[in-house]
Amino acid sequence: MKILKVILKNIRSYEQEEINFESGISLLSGEIGSGKTTILLSIEFALFGLVKGMISSDSLLRHGEKNGSVTLVIEINNQVLKIKRSLVRTSNSIKQEPGQLTIDDVEEQLTPQELRARIVHLLDYPHEFISKSPAIVYRYTVYTPQEDMKLILFESPDSRMETIRKIFNIDKYKIIRNNTSLYIKELNARIRENKAKTEDIDELKEQVENITSRRDILKGEISKLDESINKKVIEVRDVNAEISKLDEKILEQNTNKQKLVMAKTRLSSLSTQKESLTKQIIELKDQLKEKPKTELQDLSVLTKKLEDYESAQRNVLYKKQDFLQKRAILDSRIKDSNKSIQEISSIDMCPTCRQNVTFEHKSLIKQKEQTKVNSLGEKITLIDNAIPRLNEKEDVINKRIKDNQELINKLNLDKLKIKTYNEKFELQEKFELNLKKINEEAEVEKKRVETFSLKIDTGIVSIYDEKKLLFRKKLNEQKDLEIKFASFRKESELKKEELESVKKHLDSKTKLLSFISDQKMLRDWLNSFFMNLMQLMERYVLNSILKEFNEYFQEWFRMLIEDENLSVRLNDSFTPIIEQNGYETYIQNLSGGEKTSVALAYRLALNKVINDFVSHIKTKGLLILDEPTDGFSSNQLDKLRDVLVQVQSEQIVIVSHESKLESYADKIIKISKEHHVSSVS
């Protein structure tokens, strides 16, 4: 990653400023408090947004301003990216607005969280840092604020190791061990639970033996019942055959009885129909004595007149509605004019041109509006005079419509009378024809009644009843045997299902015993081998990092401090150990320059090791140092150049007020501050 440009708008002491960067060493030079560190914080904000405990919105937005922004232009793998993040002040807080990411002139609008995720992906930081704080890796590999330079030296060993684990993603081994311990506890719980489930396995085996014995007894009983049922079926079949022969004779007897009943019923029905038809014919003859007139007026003429009257009625209604709408419009216009007269009377100054309104101008406008009111009133009077005439015309038309409708109704009534008369006449003829047919059918039914009465004989019924009683007795005996057979068979099926169920439970518990054995083997393997393997892998990775880290740390400290009696090294917890004249001493006993040398060598060595072990990250070619030379002598400032050469970063940005650093900087960016506003030159 290479920084090309930073644009600040209303960020801390900057109002509007653009800072360009180049490869090599760039020095941000200026007095203390001039705004140098603001540029570094702005770069971090543009990349990752607001970071809790590191960068807050109220520390970035310039006091008194409602909004501000940072635009960062960087280059990754020969591809130019432009990142813009904005802040806006609300009534009770300062919020981060959606940002923009431009790649190859293609711009995307992203939420602050989405923009952070994209940057983490583009920088090829570990994926888990999307939800964690990506600034942890950034601040240990690229940029450390001045106040944090010596912080790691005074941290507790546990805090320091926790930080180291996060940076190198080694805490995964600890997480694996913790998760494995939890899983082993879960395995032990499962083993105890499964063992409890297998305690009744002997009872299940005894149940299998008992159920099998009962099924054998049921098989013998079912076989005996099957033979008895077959014999009883033969007896029932023989009796049923005798009943079938009697059924044929009784069926014939019943058929004759049914035919006799049907003939009598038909004869009675015909007699009733005959009486009803005779009565109806007499009534129709009385109704047909008076014949209606047949000469009627033409209905189409009356209908045409009615349509004309209704059309005239609609025209009158349309005209009335039109007059009422026009009158409403005229009333509205009169109200507008009266309102204008009232408004012009009450104002002294024109609201548009802001000039005084003279009395003559008011009088002219009021006279003009009053003329409008008078003209509109005359039009309303004409409309009010025309509406009564339309009402009178409407009343005349309505009366004609009513009279014409009455004539049409009377004509329709006369037509209905003629139609009814013709229908009754036709009905009379139809009834007389039906009466003749009914008389003929009645004679036929009388002869059928006489014939079927002679064929009925009841002597066979008593024999049939005796055979039916015997059949029911045999059939009940058969059913009793079948019920008993079904009961034994059902019990046998239930025992079969019960046996399968018990065997299934027995089989599952047998398998569960085998599974418990497998779980114990897995638990023992995790305890005795896997946990030790994770601890060994973690120790190996840490030792590899520690070895390289210690070499760079010792070498660069020796370059910064040319004192053979003073040396440094790292212990197993990555804690710097200071030795002076062969004895360990506390870092608090060192001078300011010596403390800074220890902190700077530690930071640069950590930066180098991270870039070596996490080689895929895109920020490895960039190094930012914020006031790294606090307490340095002139000789140490010269040595710093040699150390930076060994670091081999493509782009190094140094913030310092030391003028001597300008001698080996490739670009010097001067920063000054006047009247609380920072500027770059």
Do the domain assignments include residue 553? no
Out of 387, 410, 432, a domain closes at: 432
C-alpha to C-alpha distance for 395 and 131, rounded to whole angstroms: 86
pLDDT in tens, 406-455: 877 877 777 787 788 778 888 878 888 888 888 888 888 888 888 877 77
Out of 432, 461, 477, a domain closes at: 432
pLDDT at 172 over 90: no
Do the domain assignments include residue 471? no
C-alpha to C-alpha distance for 164 and 576, rounded to whole angstroms: 14
Q: How confident is the model at residue 108 (pLDDT cuts 50, 70, 90)?
A: very high
Do the domain assignments include residue 401? yes
Q: How confident is the model at residue 654 (pLDDT cuts 50, 70, 90)?
A: very high
SS3 for 51? strand
pLDDT at position 255: 83
pLDDT in tens, 229-285: 898 888 888 888 888 887 887 787 788 878 888 888 888 888 888 888 888 888 888
Answer whether 344's CB lies under 8 Å from 366's CB: yes
Angle ∠(654,656,661) on CA atoms, nearest 5:
75
User: Which one is predicted more confidently, 100 or 613?
Assistant: 100
pLDDT in tens, 587-629: 888 888 888 888 889 888 888 888 787 767 888 889 999 888 8
The phi, psi pair for 261, rounded to 5°, reads -60, -45
pLDDT at 569 over 90: yes
pLDDT at position 623: 92
Share of the chain above pLDDT 90, in %: 22
pLDDT at 369 over 90: no
The parent domain of residue 37 ranges over 2-156+614-680
pLDDT at position 133: 63
CATH number at residue 392: 1.10.287.510
Task: Spell out a b/e string for 358-394, using b for 16 or more CB atoms within 10 Å of the CB, else e.
Answer: eeeebeebbeebeebbeebeeeeeeeeeeeeeeeebb
pLDDT at position 294: 63
User: Which one is predicted more confidently, 339 or 288?
Assistant: 339
Which residues is 103 bridged to in the sheet? 81, 106
| DSSP codes, 455-485 | H---TTHHHHHHHHHHHHHHHHHHHHHHHHH
Do the domain assignments include residue 567? no
User: Which one is predicted more confidently, 20 or 326?
Assistant: 20
pLDDT at position 364: 84
Out of 370, 404, 432, a domain closes at: 432
Do the domain assignments include residue 563? no
Q: Which residues contact 141 (CB under 8 A, 6 or more apart)?
A: 167, 607, 610, 611, 614, 617, 619, 620
Structure tokens at 41: 């914080």
Answer whether 535's CB lies under 8 Å from 177's CB: yes
Mean pLDDT for all residues in the chain: 85
Average of pLDDT values for 70-96? 94
C-alpha to C-alpha distance for 526 and 180, rounded to whole angstroms: 7
The winner for highest mean pLDDT among 25-34, 331-340, 425-434 is 25-34
CATH number at residue 120: 3.40.50.300
Given the structure tokens 């006489």, which residue do they identify?
Answer: 450
Average of pLDDT values for 187-215? 85
Nearest to 154 by CA among 596, 677, 575, 612: 575
Average of pLDDT values for 554-564? 89
C-alpha to C-alpha distance for 238 and 229, rounded to whole angstroms: 15
Do the domain assignments include residue 20? yes
The winner for highest mean pLDDT among 123-127, 350-354, 551-555 is 551-555
Structure tokens at 197: 């489930």
The winner for highest mean pLDDT among 32-36, 197-201, 460-464 is 32-36
Domain count, the chain: 2
pLDDT in tens, 518-543: 888 998 998 889 988 988 888 888 89
Q: How confident is the model at residue 8 (pLDDT cuts 50, 70, 90)?
A: very high
pLDDT at 134 over 60: no
C-alpha to C-alpha distance for 7 and 115, rounded to whole angstroms: 18
Answer whether 409's CB lies under 8 Å from 310's CB: no
Nearest to 480 by CA among 234, 241, 225: 225
Do the domain assignments include residue 52? yes
The 622-626 sheet, strands edge to edge: 143-144, 622-626, 651-656, 24-29, 667-674, 677-680
Structure tokens at 419: 């139609």
| DSSP codes, 63-120 | TT-SEEEEEEEEEETTEEEEEEEEEEE-SS-EEEPPEEEEETTEEEEE-HHHHHHHHH
Least confident of 88-97, 207-216, 346-355, 481-490: 346-355
Do the domain assignments include residue 660? yes
Largest CA distance in the chain: 154
Note the Cα 119 to chain centre separation in Å.
28
pLDDT at position 84: 97
Question: Could you say which DSSP state residue 62 is in?
Answer: P
Q: Is 337 exposed, middle or buried (0-12, 13-18, 19+ CB in 10 A)?
A: buried
